[in-house]
Amino acid sequence: MFQLADTAITNHMSLTPDQKVQIAQLNEKFQEQMKVDGERGKRLDKEARQSQRAKYDAQRTEARKQLRAILGTELYIEYLEKTIDRRSMMMVGPRGPRPDGPNMRGRAARPDGVGNAFSGGGFGGGFDEDF
């Protein structure tokens, strides 16, 4: 589903009923545009797909301008901050990085006996060697 304004965020903001309706209409319009463009994109060659991508980026930029006009500068900034917070929570999670996720720093040695750079394996051994 293509959604410009994340309703999981906007539903918890202090918006007027009119703003909520305008955001729903903006999301619906954006969703329809993306569906049509997505269907066309499946049948395009590389050059045409790049052109389609540029058009998509322009549509998204215009839709964001409309969202900012609906929310006003202060609420738009609040929305962006909440979006960043939500994304960072999805990446890291409430209790730190997932052991199988993209952030693998500090992981333990692998089951096959090969350690990471800080456990004596890899990169020429551990850090406890005498120099």
User: Is-contact 24 17, C-beta < 8 A?
Assistant: no
Give CA–CA dist 65/60, Å, rounded.
9
What pLDDT digit, counting tens, does each position of 71-94 carry?
A: 999 999 999 999 998 888 777 655
Instruction: Give pLDDT, residue 3.
Output: 77
Instruction: Give pLDDT, residue 131.
Output: 43
pTM over 0.85: no
Portion of the chain with pLDDT greater than 90, in percent = 32
User: Is-contact 4 60, C-beta < 8 A?
Assistant: yes
Instruction: Give pLDDT, residue 39.
Output: 66
